[in-house]
Amino acid sequence: MIQVKRIYEPYAAADGYRILVDRLWPRGMTKEAAQIDLWAKDVAPSTELRQWFHHDPAQWKEFEKRYKAELKVSGALEILLPEIRKHKTVTLLYGAKDEQNNQAVVLKELLVRQL
């Protein structure tokens, strides 16, 4: 099972294996509070794409398209898949305020399709 969760939400045992999928460390979050098992910077959107998107919901569809293209070229998703297969429950953690329009939602969709 793969789920997504804001990193600012409290840790829960039901989270299973916790993977941070942001390129930047979340503002104000300590490593102890984050309780991550893996920081997968390579699957995060590029700095250029992140800055272009700037969490504007009007650009969501184009962001999603560009982000999927980045992942395909980078091969980062294929590197992450074996790690995910080792765990029954995986939680993809992100820092964005928008719970519907963020890279973790896109990643979950792609990972579920490949598992």
pLDDT the model gives residue 22: 96
Are β-strands 90-94 and 2-6 bridged in parallel, bridged antiparallel, or unpaired? parallel
Are β-strands 2-6 and 38-39 bridged in parallel, bridged antiparallel, or unpaired? unpaired
What is the token pair recorded at 114?
A: 């490949």
The domain locations on the chain are 2-114
Per-residue pLDDT of the chain (115 residues; tens, 9 = 90+): 999 999 999 999 999 999 999 999 999 999 999 999 999 999 999 999 999 998 888 999 999 999 999 999 998 999 899 999 999 999 999 999 999 999 999 999 999 998 8
At 112, which helix (H) or strand (E)?
helix 103-114
Question: Structure pTM?
Answer: 0.93
DSSP strands (E only) in the chain: 2-6, 17-20, 38-39, 90-94
